[in-house]
Amino acid sequence: MDPQNTSTDTGAKVMFDHAKTLRLHTGNLVNRGSMKKKCPSSPSEELQECIRAALSDWISATKPPFKDLADTLDCSIPQETDAITPEEREELKVSVKLFLCESIPSSINDAVELACQTLAVSQLDSVIIAPPGPVEGESQTLAHLQPAWEQLEALVRSQQIAAIGTSDLDKDLLEQLYNWAQVKPSSNQVNLASCCVMPPDLTAFAKEFDIQLLTHSDAKELISPAAFREALQEGTQNVNMADWRLEWVLRYSIIVKSRGIIKAKGYLVSARKTSP
pLDDT tens across the length of the chain (276 residues): 344 444 555 677 888 888 899 999 998 888 765 454 456 678 889 999 999 999 988 888 876 555 567 789 998 876 666 789 999 999 999 999 999 998 887 899 999 999 999 999 999 999 999 988 777 778 889 999 999 999 999 999 999 999 999 999 999 999 999 999 999 999 999 987 766 678 899 999 999 999 999 999 898 889 999 999 999 999 988 788 889 999 999 999 999 999 989 999 999 999 999 875
* Per-residue pLDDT, 174: 97
* Residue 204, number of CB atoms within 10 A of its CB: 12
* Contact between residue 92 and residue 120 where contact means Cβ atoms under 8 Å apart: no
Residue type present at position 249? V
| pLDDT at site 103 | 80
Separation of alpha carbons 73 and 62, rounded Å: 11
What was the pLDDT predicted at 192? 78
Helix (H, G, I), strand (E, B) or coil at 181: coil
